[in-house]
Amino acid sequence: MLRELASNIFKLHDYLLKRTDGRVRDYPLMQSPIEMTSILLAYVFFSVYVGPRLMANRKPFHLKTTMIVYNFSMVALNAYIVCEFMLSGWGTTYSWRCDLCDPSSSPQALRMIRVAWIFYFSKYIELLDTVFFVLRKKHSQITFLHVFHHSFMPWTWWWGITLTPVGGMGSFHALVNAVVHVIMYFYYGLSAAGPRFQKYLWWKKYLTAIQLIQFVLVSVHISQYYFMEKCDYQVPVWIHLIWIYGTFFFLLFSNFWVQAYIKGKRPPVTKDKPKQNGVTNDDVTTVTNGKQLENGMAHHYTNGKILPGKVKEV
């Protein structure tokens, strides 16, 4: 039985190698699902088990400078991703309707392949969000949703850019996500810079609205597929999955918006009181990826209950 299982695994591995888009095969982490799966499993093991135990009897690290550099570096990276997505199709040849994947080796198609891979690889860089939580002993922010999101996102994107042509209307959500990341990491960079920058963070509550707009744009754009007379998009399964994702999170965020801003079930806002390491006592009430941010940390908002969560996004 074990021999048969091993044989089936090797057959699947060979099948994946044959199916891998030749244009992306030579990029790092694209040769086999074993490498990326091993990295993500190690990340989960470190986040849930190894990291908290290593830090149990140690003092938390003060990473103010590191956090500033990291956040603003992520701003630059995501801004570059946005520009490349625009130049490789979304701002040049795409109609923003039934845009098909380009399976050719034209310069523009290869440029789309490259930016899709960079977006994919950026999700591995974002695993540092959790590493910083561990080193700073912010264990309450390392929730199931946080770890699941950070591990599942790059895992699914590997399959997307390996087995199917890259680009077309299925890549729109990545463009929008990168735009949102520019805004969010910019906010977190200013926040980490210290109390003297707090006066520039008056727009923190609008992060919730930005997230809602993100999912509206993604859902509306992908919904066009269902109303067109004909759209020969090569991988319709991704259309369905993106629509489910965008609609689900829009409903989740809308529920929070109603509870927090219409029904007024949010904490009262207090005056800013600077604390050490650039952290303030001001009540931050916003949502990122289904999470409510208060007093510098996030809380999951589910079924009317607020549970501890993480500060950073999607």
| Radius of gyration from C-alpha coordinates of the chain | 21
Residue 281 has pLDDT above 80, yes or no: no
CA–chain centroid gap for 227, Å, is 28
CA torsion, ordered 47, 127, 110, 231, to nearest 10 deg: 70
Query: How far apart, in whole angstroms, are the C-alpha atoms of residue 94 and residue 100?
Result: 9
Please choose, from the candidates 241, 243, 85, the residue with its C-alpha nearest in 3D space to the C-alpha of residue 157.
Answer: 241
Tell me the DSSP string of 179-208: HHHHHHHHHHHHHHT-GGGGGG-TTTTHHH
User: 30-70, pLDDT tens digit by residue?
Assistant: 888 889 999 999 999 999 989 999 998 899 998 989 999 99
| pTM exceeding the 0.85 threshold for the entire prediction | no
Residue linked to tokens 């219409």: 262
Query: How far apart, in whole angstroms, are the C-alpha atoms of residue 216 and residue 240?
Result: 15
User: 75-116, pLDDT tens digit by residue?
Assistant: 999 999 999 999 999 999 999 999 999 999 999 999 999 999
Q: Which of 19-28, 71-80, 165-174 has the lowest mean pLDDT?
A: 19-28
Q: Where are the domains of the chain?
A: 2-309
Query: How far apart, in whole angstroms, are the C-alpha atoms of residue 255 and residue 249?
Result: 10
Residue 10: which pLDDT band, with cuts at 50, 70 and 90?
low
Q: What confidence score (pLDDT) does residue 16 get?
A: 67
Residue 74, burial from CB neighbour count under 10 angstroms (0-12, 13-18, 19+): buried
Active-site annotation holds for 299: no
Q: Which of 146, 149, 221, 300 is catalytic?
A: 149
Residue 282: which pLDDT band, with cuts at 50, 70 and 90?
very low
